[in-house]
Structure 1
Amino acid sequence: MTKELDEVHAEFYAAFEAGDLDRMAAVWADGAFAAGVSCVHPGWPMLRGRDEVLRSWALIMANTTYIQFVLTGVETDVYGDHAVVTCEENVLTADDENEDGFLAGGSIVATKVFVRDGGEWRLLLHHGSPVLNSAEEE
């Protein structure tokens, strides 16, 4: 049961890294769940509704030249047709437009709620919150 859930969770990150909006859209819930789809990108307000959430991904992907995720602390809890996945996203980004190829990193704590619809797991809610590193805390 969690194998399929793990695959959809991994596909979320693969779609983001590839900048593939069609793949990202396939991960998110639709149909009866479309109105309840919600997303909080780090530093953004709550986005609600499948269309609004997918517009945000289109904007992010159009403005991201490179991104890579290394996930740590992945925990999965399944409750019937709902599941909660938490993890830390260790992120590397780069800017191809900068001649130095600017590279930045950071950590985000992410919570995702998945729903099983028609036997397939789909993402209903994603909430990412930045984690301050020790240099930022001082």
Structure 2
Amino acid sequence: MPRSTSARAGLQSSAEAAETVFYEALQAADVDMLMRVWADEDDLVCVHPGGPRIVGAAAIRASFEQILSRGVLRITPERVLRTNTLSCAVHSVVERVQMQADPGDTKFAFVLATNIYIKTPDGWRMVLHHASPGTAHEVAEVIATAERLH
């Protein structure tokens, strides 16, 4: 089902810009903004860490509404590797995740994510977000890199 004209406002001129909006929407717990990043395709796919394959915009929206209703979620993309062509972009991201369900109850994790964007007549839009739990190796690598940079 096509989105409204107002939902199409602010479409992205690059896959990098679309990804920025995606992570800003997660930080703000703004499902409407988050869904504006997704393409108007029937076969959109999203996999959350340890979860099943979710297909379609309505199901993806419902999954993010459920996740974002659980508390404050901060996701910081790090160590992004990009492969771009004229009409497709694949971003491999290490996500630093901080979730606070209750005051004083903060949990941390590292997640490995792949975000795929396609260039549409309406701009760059996401067609796949696949996230998996990070391994101890990725965690150590991200922490070691962060320590060298600061």
| TM, length-normalised to structure 1 | 0.84
Amino acid at match of 2:18: V
How many correspondences in the alignment? Answer: 126
In structure 2, what is the Cα distance between the partners aligned to 1:61 and 1:119?
27
Identity among equivalent pairs (%): 28
Equivalent residue number for residue 94 of structure 2: 88
Using the TM superposition, give the Cα deviation of residue 86 of structure 1 relative to its aligned residue in structure 2, in angstroms: 0.7
In structure 2, what is the Cα distance between the partners aligned to 1:119 and 1:80?
15
| Aligned-pair Cα RMSD in Å | 1.7
Using the TM superposition, give the Cα deviation of residue 70 of structure 1 relative to its aligned residue in structure 2, in angstroms: 2.5
Amino acid at match of 1:8: A
In structure 1, what is the Cα distance between the partners aligned to 2:24 and 2:117?
17
Amino acid at match of 1:120: G
Using the TM superposition, give the Cα deviation of residue 4 of structure 1 relative to its aligned residue in structure 2, in angstroms: 2.2
In structure 2, what is the Cα distance between the partners aligned to 1:81 and 1:104?
37
Write the deviation string for residues 68-122 of structure 1: whole angstroms up to 9, x where unpaired. Answer: 12222101111221110111001111123x5xx2111110010011011115100
Amino acid at match of 1:106: A
In structure 2, what is the Cα distance between the partners aligned to 1:3 and 1:115?
11
Structure 1: state its 5+ residue gaps: none
SS at match of 1:6: helix
In structure 2, what is the Cα distance between the partners aligned to 1:3 and 1:85?
16
The correspondence for 2:113, drawn from 110, 113, 117, is 110
In structure 2, what is the Cα distance between the partners aligned to 1:80 and 1:45?
31
Write out the 4+ residue segments of structure 1 that deviate beyond 4 Å after TM superposition.
none
Structure 2: state its 5+ residue gaps: 1-11, 138-150
In structure 2, what is the Cα distance between the partners aligned to 1:55 and 1:90?
23
1:61 aligns with 2:71: no
